[in-house]
Amino acid sequence: MEVNVPARILSLNTVSSTPTEIWPFDDGQGDPFWSGGGNPKPYRWELVFTINQPQIHSSHLTREPNEYNGLDVFVGDWIAGGTDGQAVKIISITSKTETDVTCIVEDVLRYNTFRSPTGDGLFTVPGVAVLFEINERGNPILDPLPLGIVSADFYANLESRYKAFALQENFLLVQTAHGFSEGDSVSIDASTGDFEQTEADSLDRVIGSVSSPGPGPNAFLLTPTTKIVENHVPALPGSVGDFIYVDPTSPGDLTLTKTAKLAFLQLTNAVASIIRGTVLNATSSIGFTLNINGVPVTLTGTSIDDAVIDINGVTGSTGVVAQKVLATTTASTAIPDLFYGLVGNFTDPPGPASATINGTLVTFSDNTDGFNTFALNVAIQSDMARDINAAGISNIVASSDSSNLFITETAGGSITIVNVSSDENGVPFAGPASGSGLPLLTLIATNALLQLTRADGGEIIVQDVSGTPLADFGLVSVQNGQLPLGLIIEQGIRKGDMFIVADITARDALDVLIGDQAFVLDKDDEEWGLFIWDGSDWVQTATEESARVDSRSLTTTITFESGTTTSIGEVNDGVRVSPITIEVTTPFDGFPTIEVGDAGVPDRLFEDALVDLSVTGTYQSTPPFRYDTSGLDTDIIVTFNAGGATTGSAKITMTYS
């Protein structure tokens, strides 16, 4: 909620409601309301309503100062019936003006359906209703409540609905066949963007734990680690799994570039909002002006091509891109081509019927609505539409009404149907004497439309300023996309990151800021090192050797077969090595030599003259040297020349402090 900006509480008159989806999943426990149950009930509807009157307030900070109207209705808002407080959520806005709104609403978690004695998930339409928003805790904001439109038990029922499921503690997320169980810790896979059970390599992207693994196989309720934000403006600029940072170069903006302030972990991708004009090959008039998201656009030409240039000239301010697109092509039922007189194909063997649509095979086996309507195993138009949409055919969307099936190619391409198999009576899916009455070929569109797209999923508000450009192009305001969800992952000042990497190459590939540290498991000498980034270079702050406190000893053994150089170990800056002993445990033959020192002076710590490798015994050197290496480690090396020896062994012990 914003300071000095009142909550939106609009008084509505609902005009009509049309069911759009019935819950498609059987819980296996006798749910009567799913699409295949004994009493199927919708859980999504297209709702049309009008604004009774604008909400007048005194804030100068709103889109329209001192007023809320139909253009201030957003995805994520809720609508409650005025008699009993039964509430549904807006999930998409098809069109909106100052006074009229058409949207898709959902009975979230089917709460209303199972609460109602009749299983009805929507309040009575037509009738009075209230539009409201919820706060960061998931509670409804009903201040000021419109007068004279609600019953006495409205508020009590509505408040109880949100207390039953605290939305921020039970956040609904969707992933096909997620396979989670209650209590699972959930992370985001940074490479795939999928939700997954937390593993060692995804600990930095933990988002919460599963409070319920449903409803259905694809949804789950998450108790987040912090807070999930919806409808954040500006929209999160990345993809699922990206870390989002505050942009220090542009106040109020966000960036994918790592900065000192980490803000969000992005949970979902944006779904674009799209306005597709309805006037074919539209023309307008030079000088007509429209507002797009509050930015005026004056037309300098009359055609769609001219409008595209003008609108795209202010994309940086509106977030909206215009383009000229082909009109959609639609294949629809031709009643004379229906074999049965109604849309339908039987599904019993040797059926069901099947066909390819633009090359993708669709089998028409869903008979849910057909059986509920006729008590026969028959796929009717709504069943067929579900099967087509489930096939995921590019640019193809199927729909139906009470007696017809429609297939739309949203990009204006052709629709080609090829029958593959028929139903039990030999009736194919499409063509003459078919089950659907659809034509086998629908040609590519030749007409053009103006299309506006907002890629981040935010609203597109269009208004006439002068002339009639909205009517000329057939444009209406929408928010039919979805802004990304984000998990707040840090507040306050920056904390340095600690990385654990295998080697120096992996350290140098890190994306880091000043103060970040890297624990390197092998810094090219089979020992670990700790480094801190100072803004331009990695500075070593500790090593495996420096971590050893007080006086320490290191040993190694040399035999007649040993190589020329052998490392005893590293010592850090400021260390004094003393004493060093060489214990000859097996005398050497031949003429071997041995020295102990470093790469700069091989015999700095022990000269060959101090030991007789041909005689068993212990020899000692007490060098006065202290290493002063400006913070760097020094490798202590034994240099051995076998000198033709065929036997012999010696133990070298180095003590340092």
Summarize pLDDT for 20-36 with one digit per residue, the tens: 999 989 998 999 999 88
CA distance 413 to 430: 18
DSSP 3-state of 359? coil
Q: Return the sign of the alpha-carbon dihedral for residues 242, 246, 248, 254.
A: positive
Among 547, 489, 493, 549, which residue's Cα sits nearest to residue 519? 547
Tell me how far apart the alpha carbons of residues 316 and 110 are, in angstroms, rounded to a whole number. 40
pLDDT at 151: 66
Closest to 580 in 3D by CA, of 594, 602, 596, 559: 596
Tens-place pLDDT, residues 424-482 = 999 999 999 999 999 999 999 999 999 999 999 999 999 999 999 999 999 999 999 99
Q: Which residues, at least 6 apart from 273, have a Cβ–Cβ distance to it below 8 Å?
A: 453, 454, 457, 458, 459, 460, 478, 479, 480, 481
CB 364 within 8 A of CB 352: yes
Tally of CA atoms within 13 A in the half-sphere of 556 that contains its CB: 17
pLDDT averaged over the chain?
A: 91
- 147 vs 498 pLDDT, higher one: 498
Q: What phi and psi, each to the nearest 5 degrees, are found at residue 81?
A: -65, 145
Between CA 161 and CA 112 the distance in angstroms is 9
Can you name the residues that pair with 223 across neighbouring β-strands? 209
- Cα–Cα distance between 255 and 278 in angstroms, integer? 36
Give the tens place of pLDDT for each residue, 77-107: 999 998 888 999 999 999 999 999 999 999 9
Q: Please determine, for residue 491, whether its predicted confidence score (pLDDT) is greater than 60.
A: no
Tally of CA atoms within 13 A in the half-sphere of 234 that contains its CB: 19
Distance from C-alpha of 307 to C-alpha of 320, rounded to nearest angstrom: 13
Segment holding 96, helix H or strand E: strand 87-96
- Tens of pLDDT, residue by residue over 43-85, are 999 999 999 999 999 999 998 899 999 999 999 999 999 888 8
Q: Are 439 and 430 in contact (CB under 8 A)?
A: yes
pLDDT given at position 514? 76
Sign of CA dihedral 323, 63, 15, 369: positive
Strand partners, 324: 450
Q: Which two tokens stand for residue 576?
A: 């004094």
For residue 148, what pLDDT is reported? 63
Q: What are the pLDDT digits (tens) for 516-529? A: 899 999 988 888 88
Q: What is the pLDDT of residue 262?
A: 83
Q: What percent of the chain has pLDDT over 70?
A: 97
pLDDT given at position 156: 79
| Residue-level length of the chain | 657
Beta-bridge partner residues of 229: 486
Find, among 410, 427, 409, 408, the residue nearest to 419 by Cα.
427
pTM of the full structure: 0.70
Q: Which amino acid is at 104?
A: I
- What whole-number distance in Å separates Cα of residue 619 and Cα of residue 608? 11
Instruction: Dihedral sign for Cα 254, 198, 174, 78, please.
Output: negative
Model pLDDT, residue 447? 95
Whole-angstrom distance, CA of residue 553 vs CA of residue 360: 73
The residue ranking higher by pLDDT, 513 or 376, is: 376
Q: Are strands 206-212 and 219-224 parallel, antiparallel or unpaired?
A: antiparallel
Which of 78-92, 194-208, 317-331, 484-498 is most confident? 317-331
Residue 544 φ/ψ, nearest 5 degrees: -60, -35
Q: What is the CA radius of gyration of the chain?
A: 37
Residue 568 has pLDDT above 80, yes or no: yes
Q: How many CB atoms lie within 10 A of CB 410?
A: 16
Tell me how crowded residue 402 is: count the other CB atoms within 10 A of its CB.
7
Nearest of 268, 195, 197 to residue 228 by alpha carbon: 268
Tokens (6 digits) for 319: 């977030």
The full DSSP string for 411-444 is: TS--EEEEEEE--TTS--SSSTTBSS---SEEPP
Q: What is the pLDDT of residue 407?
A: 98
- Rounded to an integer, what distance in angstroms lies between the CA atom of residue 287 and that of residue 290? 10
> What would the two tokens of residue 251 be?
């106040």
How confident is the model at residue 136, as a pLDDT?
77
pLDDT at 284: 98
Q: Is the previous residue joined to 224 through a cis bond, with omega within 30 degrees of 0?
A: no
State the DSSP code for 609.
Answer: G
> What is the arithmetic mean of pLDDT over 615-621?
90
Q: How far apart are the first and last CA of the chain?
A: 62
| Six token digits for residue 557 | 């053994």
pLDDT of residue 1: 63
Helix (H, G, I), strand (E, B) or coil at 557: strand
**Six token digits for residue 623:** 């060098």
Determine the Cα–Cα distance for residues 552 and 544; give it in Å rounded to an integer. 12
